[in-house]
Amino acid sequence: MNLPEIKHYSAKVEIQSNDLFALSKGLNVGKPLEEPCPNCFVIRCTNWKQKETYKAILYAAWKTNAFDNYLYGSVIPFIRIQDFKNVVTEKAKKAFNNYRRFETDFKRYLELEKYEASIAKQLQLIRELKHVYIMRHIK
């Protein structure tokens, strides 16, 4: 298992093509990002495959609230970089124990999220259509 370098993001440091970013403050701590923001960590991956792997691991950890137990602060919660590294390392070890299964399950998860989004869109359209039918007779 090849762990990437994890640092605090600084606008002074040049962004590389295989860099991955994760929020370090707020209630979405650990959420993977493609573009940096002032309150994020940078995960320096060595290649595209490693970037995609850690993006999936971060996404899974974020969605399962793995970082929530390590939040500090009362107004704007944040995570310490060492706690972030520990969680990422722990989740990466679990994922790499059976990586093929993790990869297929993660792909299925993403497919289900797309399906869920399409159903949500259909429900929104149904609500709008119901509204139109009622408004025809009231206005």
| 69-119: pLDDT as tens digits | 999 998 999 999 999 999 999 999 999 998 899 989 999 998 999 999 999
Residues 119 and 57 in one domain: no
Residues 24 and 90 in one domain: yes
Residues 78 and 90 in one domain: yes
Residues 54 and 41 in one domain: yes
Residues 116 and 137 in one domain: yes
Residues 111 and 61 in one domain: no
The parent domain of residue 78 ranges over: 1-97
Residues 28 and 60 in one domain: yes
- Report helix, strand or coil for 7: strand
Residues 106 and 78 in one domain: no
Residues 73 and 49 in one domain: yes
What pLDDT shows up at residue 8? 92
Calpha distance 68→66 (Å, rounded): 6
The dihedral sign for the CA sequence 93, 102, 97, 55: negative
Q: pLDDT-derived band of residue 126, with 50, 70 and 90 as boundaries?
A: very high
What pLDDT shows up at residue 11? 86
Q: What is the DSSP string of 29-55?
A: TT-EESS--SSEEEEE-SSHHHHHHHH
What pLDDT shows up at residue 124? 97
What pLDDT shows up at residue 1? 61
Write down which residue in 64, 79, 97 finishes a domain.
97
Write down which residue in 80, 97, 114 finishes a domain.
97
Helices and strands (H and E) in the chain: how many: 3, 6
Looking at residue 10, its amino acid is: S
Residues 109 and 41 in one domain: no
Residues 7 and 37 in one domain: yes
Residues 15 and 30 in one domain: yes
Domain count, the chain: 2
pTM of the model: 0.79
